[in-house]
């Protein structure tokens, strides 16, 4: 939507996972059951804090404080509950607190996928376009999320940043997409619903699609994604119409 078509169609497509393929806010319903009146706020703060923690451990001391995404996700949840709920009622001292944390973490293992994912990935497969995930999630989280959301077999590569112990938007994390696919970033389309991720990938040299699912403004840092769309289906704007 936001720019003319890039000069050459990408030779592969990488997707961000959390927020892009999987709905990180689909935990809000359970959060609301466990913490009435706070479900929505909790799911938002949990997500924000999770992202913040990936940045803190990446920026500090060259990976000395790295923790896998699953652990950061749990830490962010504990923080979010303490800030929004438990600080008020002292529940953090009870066994109930740990139990609620575990229930929400279990829910996080099998987030809902967005409805259009399956058909988009299926079509890319039929058109013989290599696909993959490039995610902050650790390998076991990603495998489980792909399986539980019914996307198993529709993705050629599942790439976690875990081996480089740096989270996106670190260059070392984005470079894993290039090395895995054996292509320069300029020939790969990177798809994310997270504006910061679209920005980081654009800075890294990828062609980018920002899937703006929530009608948000883009980051104001002087760089725009290659294109902006509203669903995963906008991937096809990067490719010439199928001859079939």
Q: Which one among 196, 213, 233, 239 touches its own copies, defined by CB under 8 A?
A: 196
Separation between Cα atoms, residue 19 and residue 88, nearest integer Å: 30
- Contact predicate 136/168, CB 8 Å: yes
Residue 34 to residue 36: CA distance in whole angstroms? 6
Closest CB 180 distance from its own copies, rounded Å: 20
Stretch of residues binding its own copies (CB under 8 A), selected from 5-13, 73-81, 105-113, 232-240: 73-81
Position 91 contacts its own copies (CB under 8 A): no
Q: How many CA atoms lie within 13 A of 120 on its CB side?
A: 21
Binder of its own copies out of 26, 67, 123, 186 (CB under 8 A): 67
- Quote the CA–CA distance of 43 and 27 in Å, as a whole number: 6
Q: Is the peptide bond before 169 cis (omega within 30 degrees of 0)?
A: yes
Shortest distance, CB of residue 124 to its own copies, whole angstroms?
28
Pattern of binders to its own copies over 211-230, x per CB under 8 A?
Answer: ----xxx-xxxxx-------
User: Considering only 11-19, 59-67, 111-119, 147-155, which stretch makes contact with its own copies by CB under 8 A?
Assistant: 59-67
Binding residues for its own copies restricted to 110-149, rule: CB under 8 A: none
Q: Per CB under 8 A, which region of 18-26, 141-149, 169-177, 180-188 contacts its own copies?
A: 169-177
- C-alpha span between 195 and 184 (Å, rounded): 22
Q: Annotated catalytic, 16?
A: yes
Query: What are the angstrom distances between the C-alpha of 181 and each of 8, 36, 228?
Result: 17, 45, 24
Task: Verify binding: residue 7, its own copies, rule CB under 8 A.
Answer: no
Is 98 a binding residue for its own copies by CB under 8 A? The answer is no
Mark the segment that binds its own copies (CB under 8 A) among 71-79, 155-163, 224-232, 234-242.
71-79
Give dist(CA 200, CA 208) in Å, integer.
Answer: 10
Task: Provide Rg for the chain, Cα atoms.
Answer: 18
Burial class (CB in 10 A: 0-12, 13-18, 19+), 175: middle
> CB of 232 within 8 A of CB of 120?
yes
Residue 76 near its own copies by CB under 8 A: yes
Interaction between residue 169 and its own copies (CB under 8 A): yes
- Residues identified as active-site: 16
Interacting residue ranges for its own copies, rule: CB under 8 A: 48, 52-53, 55-62, 64-65, 67, 75-76, 78-79, 82-83, 87, 169-171, 196, 199-200, 203-204, 215-217, 219-223
């Amino acid at each position: 939507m936001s720019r003319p078509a890039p000069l050459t169609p990408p030779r592969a497509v990488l997707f961000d996972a959390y927020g892009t393929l999987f709905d990180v806010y689909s935990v809000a319903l359970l959060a609301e059951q466990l913490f009435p009146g706070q479900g929505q706020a909790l799911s938002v703060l949990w997500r924000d804090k999770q992202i913040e923690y990936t940045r803190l451990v990446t920026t500090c001391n060259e990976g000395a404080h790295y923790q896998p995404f699953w652990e950061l996700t749990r830490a962010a949840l504990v923080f979010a509950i303490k800030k929004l709920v438990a600080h008020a009622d002292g529940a953090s001292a009870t066994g109930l607190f740990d139990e609620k944390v575990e229930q929400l973490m279990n829910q996080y293992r099998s987030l809902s996928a967005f409805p259009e994912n399956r058909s988009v990935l299926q079509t890319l497969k039929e058109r013989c376009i290599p696909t993959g995930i490039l995610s902050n999630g650790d390998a076991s989280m990603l495998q489980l999320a792909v399986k539980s959301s019914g996307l198993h077999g529709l993705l050629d590569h599942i790439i976690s940043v875990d081996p480089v112990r740096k989270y996106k938007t670190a260059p070392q994390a984005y470079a894993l997409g290039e090395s895995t696919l054996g292509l320069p970033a300029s020939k790969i389309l990177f798809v994310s619903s997270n504006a910061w991720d679209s920005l980081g990938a654009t800075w890294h040299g990828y062609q980018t699609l920002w899937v703006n699912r929530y009608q948000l403004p883009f980051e104001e840092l002087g760089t725009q994604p290659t294109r902006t769309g509203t669903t995963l289906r906008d991937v096809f704007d990067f490719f010439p119409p199928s001859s079939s």
